[in-house]
Amino acid sequence: MKVVSAGSSGFLGIHLTDHLRAAGHQVHRLVRRAPSGDDELRWDPDTGTLSAAARRAMADADAVVNLCGAGVGAHRWTDAYRRTIRSSRVGPTALLARVCAEEGVPTLLNASGTGYYGDRGASPMPETETPGATFLAGVCVDWEAATAPAATAGTRVVLLRQAPVLGRGGDLLDRLSLIVRLGLGGPIAGGRQFLPWISLRDHLAVVGFLLEADVAGPVNLAAPETVTNARFVRALGAVLHRPTPWPVPGIALRVALGGFAEEITGGQRAVPDVLTGAGFRFADPELRGALEWALGQS
């Protein structure tokens, strides 16, 4: 397949480009700087523009994969960074959806997040659930809504509600692994909140699967095994052979992280009903095996 990829310079985007090319797909990457190779195409989502070469590539593409978005855990959530979180997702998506509609792109795989569900306690969250009321839930609603022009024009739009991805270099695993290796790990804000997750290799396999599967609409990219954050940290400690005795109180997170603490101390028990119903088989359905693989210990 001919694939145009946006957000290809981030952790997931780099791995996805390699994965798709290894599977035999031709991938063109949208970049904001001057292109440095034949596989790169210039665009500027801040001004809503695409180079002529980028538009031609989209017109010839079988699919567009959009993973754009500033990291939600990369900075304190000041008012300015909240605006960055929203604009870095909604703006690029709106541009790509419009061009998909204009050029008749058959398929758009567009990132979203399990944050769509907000803080929903222990209730399982399949794709049919309504959105929550947190800041990230509102961002996800607007993010997904920005794909509407493509769907209206007949593009098959898949909304990738991504859980945190477990792989070396990924934000969640790198941060928690450091804390646990230092012997400072423990349940966060009581530990009862559910923390959705997916291994990197399953995330990449899911995207490849959805490029060709007869699936549209929201899809939870989350593993079948649902765990609380206390169980997650205990499993990580076991894999790293480190104790995890020290609970992290919610007030400490609020001091350290500001608004982002609200998302960590909440939780979503996202379940992959669409994927399992479509016949996708997870390589890492259980947390312990996923952590061992991600940390290179399997």
Average pLDDT of 23-43?
96
Q: Average the pLDDT over 38-67 and give the result.
A: 96
Percentage of the chain beyond pLDDT 70 is 92
Complete domains list, the chain, with CATH: 2-166+196-224+269-283 (3.40.50.720)
Higher-confidence residue of 84 and 266: namely: 84
- Whether the Cβ atoms of residue 193 and residue 267 lie closer than 8 Å to each other: yes
- Examine the pLDDT at 28 and tell me if it is beyond 60: yes
CB 165 within 8 A of CB 200: yes
State if pTM tops 0.85: yes
Of 18-32, 76-90, 250-264, least confident by mean pLDDT is: 250-264
CA distance 173 to 70: 18
Q: What is the mean pLDDT of the chain?
A: 91
So what's the pLDDT on residue 265? Answer: 64
**Measured distance CA(85)–CA(63) in Å, rounded:** 25
Asked whether the predicted pLDDT for residue 214 surpasses 60, the reply is yes
- If we measure between CA atoms, which residue out of 221, 225, 211 comes closest to residue 165? 221
Residue with tokens 């609603």: 141
Place of tokens 């859980």: 163
Digit-coded pLDDT (tens) for 157-170: 999 999 999 998 88
What is the pLDDT averaged over residues 38-61?
96
pLDDT (average), residues 262-279? 87
pLDDT given for residue 263 in this prediction: 59
Write down the pLDDT at residue 184. 75
Is pLDDT above 90 for 5? yes
Q: pLDDT tens digit string along 100-132?
A: 999 999 999 999 999 999 988 899 999 999 999
Of residues 247 and 67, more confidently modeled: 67
What mean pLDDT is predicted for residues 234-263?
Answer: 72
Beta partners for residue 269, in sequence order: 124
Whole-angstrom distance, CA of residue 26 vs CA of residue 62: 10
Average pLDDT over residues 35-60: 95
Q: List, as own/partner pairs, every contact residues 67-71 make where C-beta atoms lie below 8 angstroms and the sequence separation is at least 24, other chains included.
A: 67/5, 67/6, 67/7, 67/8, 67/10, 67/12, 67/13, 67/16, 67/111, 68/6, 68/7, 68/92, 68/93, 68/111, 69/7, 69/111, 69/143, 71/10, 71/171
Q: Taking the CB of residue 228, how many other CB atoms lie within 10 A of it? A: 19
Instruction: Give the rounded distance of the alpha carbon of 83 from its chain centre.
Output: 19
What are the angstrom distances between the C-alpha of 228 and each of 116, 118, 122, 187, 191?
18, 15, 9, 9, 6
CB atoms within 10 A of CB 103: 17
- The string of pLDDT tens digits covering residues 142-196 is 999 999 999 999 999 999 999 999 998 887 788 788 888 888 777 776 778 898 9
Q: Is the pLDDT of residue 256 over 60?
A: no
In this prediction, residues 38-54 reach a mean pLDDT of: 95
To the nearest 10°, report the CA torsion of 101, 217, 69, 257: 150
What pLDDT does residue 253 have? 57
pLDDT of residue 170: 83
